[in-house]
Amino acid sequence: MGDVILSVKDLNLKFDLRGRVLHAIRGVSLDLYKGESLAIVGESGSGKSVFTKCFMGLNDLNGHIDSGEILYDGKDLAKITQEKDWLPIRGGEIAMVMQDPMTSLNPLKTIGAQIEEAILLHQKIDRHGAHAQMLSVLKDVGIDEPERRARQYPHEFSGGMRQRVVIAIAVACRPKILICDEPTTALDVTIQAQILSLIKELRDRLGLTCVYITHDLGVVANVADRIAVMYAGDIVEIGLCEEIFYDPRHPYTWALLSSLPQLGVRGQPLFSIKGTPPNLYTEIRGDAFAPRNPYALEIDFVERPPYFDVSPTHKARTWLLDPRAPKIDPPVNIRAIRAKGSANP
Amino acid sequence: MNEKLLQVKNISVDFGSGRKKVRAVNDVSFDIYRGETFGLVGESGSGKTTIGRAIIRIHPVSAGEIFFEDQRISGKITSQQDKELTRKIQMIFQDPMASLNERAKVDYIVSEGIWSDRSISPARRREMVAEALDEVGLLPEFASRFPHEFSGGQRQRIGIARALIMKPEFIIADEPISALDVSIRAQVLNLMSELQKKRGLTYLFISHDLSVMRFICDRIAVIHKGKLVELCETEKLFRHPLHPYTRALLSAVPQPDPDSEKNKVLTTYDPSMHDYSSDLPVWAELEDGHFVYGNQKELDSYREMLRY
C-alpha cells in the first residue's frame, strides 16, 4: 500500500438541531492511501455523506467537529473555521461529484462557462488558457465535439452526459482526491457502467485518489480497492474488496450483501434487514447494530466492540470475532459468493 | 396462467404533431397473462413508461389497440367502462418523495380513489384505509399523519396501499424501487410478491435494472427506442440473450463479485450495426415464447446461437 494521503483520527461530528444534539459520526478513524479507490457503503442516514463532507467543510453550519482530526498535507482540516481557508482545498485539492446531475449544474450558464469558472478560480491562468483547458477536460471525460458542446446548456444534455460534465468540473483543477457521492444512483444501468469505467480511467490517468459513497454493494465490486461499511456513524468493517465480498465478518455486512437482489432466489422472499437504524439523538450503548442483529450476543447490548483484526488489511467491529464468542457461520447465500470466487480465481 | 389479462396489439404513441412529431412507442405488441409479473426493461427515453401510461389511458395511442379482459380499452370507451378500469388497473410510481401529496394526510391520500363512490360511508371508508394500511405492513394510526413523517420505504408502502384500496387486478409498477436504498428495496419487493400471492395480482414491472427483474419477473420484454427487441421468459433471457441490445444490458448489470467484475468486458450496443436497407426486420418467435426483432439474416444467426 502506498503513502497515506489523508488521515482521519477518532472523528466526532455533532449536529445541533433545535437544542437537541445529533451525534452523526461517532469516533471514526480512517487512512486513505494515495492512488487507491475506497468505497464507503451504508444505508441512508448512516453518515457516509456527512463524513466525507467533513473533508471539504461542506457540512451545514449547525454541524461541528466535536473532537478528532483530519490530517491532509500537514494541515488539520478539522481545525479550519474560516470559510476562506477552505477555498484552496475545496475543488483545488479535494473535489466532489454529487449524486444528481440534474440538480448540480447551473441551468442558466453554458457547460463551458461552468467548467471555466472552476479553472479560473483555482489556477493562475488567463481566459484563453482556461478555455483551452476546458476543451481538453471535456474531451477527457468522453464528450465528442467539445467546441460545440461547450456552448450548450445543461438541458441539452442527457443524464449520463450531464454526469460527465459534473465529473469534468471536478477534475478540471487536477485535485488529489475525488469524492463521488452516489455518482450513479440517478442513472440507468448501462450509463452507470460507463460512468464508473470513466471514473476508473480518470483515476489511473490523473493519479487521483477516489472515495465512492454508495448504498449498493453490487456497484462497488467493480471499482473499489477497499470497502468501508458504515453503520450509525461508525465504520463497522473495513477491508480489501475481495475480503469484504468473499469473507465478510460483521453481521451488518452480511445483511447488506444478503439483501442484494442479485443473490436472491426467485419465489423466495429476499432477505431484508429488520427494524430501523438507531436514533442518533440518544447515546448508543454497546453495538449500534445489536437490536437488528439476529446473531447479537449479550455483550453487544452492553459494551461497544473494539476492532478485531482479521488480516493486516481487514478489521471488523463485532464481538463475534472475540475468541470467547460462539462460532457463527455467515448466511448461506454469502458463502455462495465465496465459493464462486474461489472456484475461478 | 394461460388466460390473457392484457393484450397490447401493435400500439404506437406519438407526442407532438407535424414536424415536431416524436414517435415514442413504435408498433409494440405483447400479452400479459393473469397472475404473472411481466417486466419491461430499457434505458431512459426508451418508451417503457409511455407504454405503462398508455395502458392506464394517460396517453392516447395513435395506432393499435389495447385489450383488457377481452375488452378494448384504447380509444373511446363508455364512462361505465372507464370507471371500471380505474378500479381494476392501478399504478405505483417511482419516487415516493414526489408522488404523495405533501399537504394531505395519509388517510386522504390512500382513500382518494374511493372518494367518488357515494355508496361508501365515511365510517366504511376509514375502515378500508385501515385495512389497506394493515395489508402493506403499516399501522392504522398512521392514517392521521402527513407524508413527510415517513421514511422512503414507508412512503412507498403508502403508495402501494393507495393502489390496493381499489381492489385492482392489474398493477403497473413504474420503477417502484429505483429511488430506494438497497435494504429497503428488499422489503418493498417482498411486499409486492407477498401481495401477488395473496390477492392474485398481475404486475407490469417497469425498470431499467435487470438484476431486480431477474428476481421478480416471470417474463421480460426488452425495449429500445420505442421498439421491442426481445421478449422471453426470465431465465431463458438470462441464459440465451439473442439481441445485441439485450446482451449489452446484461453485461452492464453489476455483480457482487469482485473477481468476475474486474475482468468484465462491457458490451456496448450500436444500432448502426443493423443493415435494414433491403432486408426488413420482423418480430419473430424463434422458440416457444421467445420473440426477437431482426431481419432474416439476423434471425438465422440467432437460431444458430440457440442451438448451443
Percent of chain B scored above 70 by pLDDT?
99
- By C-alpha distance, the chain B residue nearest A266 is B215
User: Is residue A5 over pLDDT 50?
Assistant: yes
Nearest to B212 among A197, A245, A261 (CB): A261
Q: Kindly state the average pLDDT of the residues B217-239.
A: 93
- Output the nine-digit C-alpha cell for B299: 434471425
Residue B39 confidence (pLDDT): 95
Answer yes or no: do B257 and A189 touch at CB < 8 A: no
* Mean pLDDT on A286-313: 90
Residue B112: is its pLDDT beyond 70?
yes
Give per-residue pLDDT as tens, B243-285: 999 998 888 888 888 888 777 777 888 888 888 888 888 898 8
SS3 A334: helix
Compute the distance between CA of residue B295 and CA of residue B284 in angstroms, rounded to an integer.
Answer: 9
Task: State the pLDDT at residue B65.
Answer: 93
Q: What is the mean pLDDT of residues A90-99?
A: 89
How many residues would you count in chain A? Answer: 345
pLDDT of residue B12: 93
The predicted model gives A59-81 an average pLDDT of 89
Please state, in angstroms and rounded to a whole number, the distance separating the CA atoms of residues A148 and A146: 6
Q: Which three cell numbers stand for residue B280?
A: 426488413
Residue among B45, B234, B259 minimizing CB distance to A344:
B259
pLDDT band for position B166 (cuts 50, 70, 90): very high
Backbone angles phi, psi at A113, to 5 degrees: -60, -35
DSSP codes, A49-83: HHHHHGGGT-S-TTEEEEEEEEEETTEEGGG---H
> What is the rounded distance in angstroms from the CA atom of residue A128 to the CA atom of residue A322?
62
What is the per-residue pLDDT for A340?
A: 57
Q: Is domain B4-240 annotated with CATH 3.40.50.300?
A: yes
Residue A259 sits at the chain B interface (C-beta within 8 Å): yes
Answer whether residue B47 shows pLDDT above 50: yes
Interface residues from chain B to A (CB-CB < 8 Å): 43-45, 151-152, 181-187, 189-190, 193-194, 208-212, 214-216, 234, 248-249, 251-262, 264, 266
Edge-to-edge, what's the strand order for the sheet holding A94-97? A94-97, A177-181, A209-214, A37-41, A226-231, A234-240, A314-316, A308-311
Place of cell 396501499: B161
CB of B112 closer than 8 Å to CB of B159: no
Closest CA to A99 of A163, A183, A161: A183
Alpha-carbon distance of A36 to A38, in angstroms, equals: 6
Q: Enumerate the H helices of A123-233 as residue ranges.
A: 127-140, 146-150, 159-171, 189-206, 217-223
Q: Determine the residue among B183, B214, B218 to mutate to test chain A binding: the one whose Cβ has the most chain A Cβ atoms within 10 Å.
A: B183
pLDDT at residue A283 is higher than 90: no
Give Cβ neighbours of residue B97 (< 8 Å, ≥ 6 apart). B152, B155, B179
Q: Residue A262: list chain B partners with CB under 8 A.
A: 211, 214-215, 253-256
* CA atoms in the 13 A half-sphere facing the CB of B235: 3
**pLDDT for the residue A185:** 79
Give the integer Cα–Cα distance in Å for A9 and B95. Answer: 38
Mean pLDDT throughout A136-161? 91
Using pLDDT thresholds of 50, 70 and 90, give the confidence band for residue A344.
very low
For residue A196, give how far its alpha carbon lies from the nearest alpha carbon of chain B (Å): 11
Condensed to tens digits (0 to 9), the pLDDT of residues B63-80 reads 999 999 989 998 888 989
Exposed/middle/buried for B294, CB within 10 Å: 0-12, 13-18, 19+? Answer: buried
| Separation CA A181–CA A50 (nearest Å) | 10
More reliable by pLDDT, B13 or A216: B13
Q: Which helix (H) or strand (E) holds A239?
A: strand A234-240
Nearest Cα of chain A lies from the Cα of B258 at a distance, in angstroms, of 5
A211, A54 contact by CB (below 8 A):
no
- pLDDT score of A336 more than 80: no
Stretch A92-113: mean pLDDT, rounded? 89
Q: Is the pLDDT of residue A290 over 80?
A: yes
Q: Residue A239: is its pLDDT beyond 50?
A: yes
Bridge-based pairing of strands A308-311 and A314-316 is antiparallel
β-bridge mates for residue A228, sequence order: A40, A238
For chain B, give the mean pLDDT. Answer: 89
pLDDT at A166: 93
> pTM above 0.80?
yes
- Flag whether pLDDT at B1 surpasses 60: no
- The mean of the pLDDT values for chain A is 88
Domain residue extents for chain B: 4-240, 241-308
How does pLDDT run across B21-42, given as a tens digit for each residue?
889 999 999 999 999 999 999 8
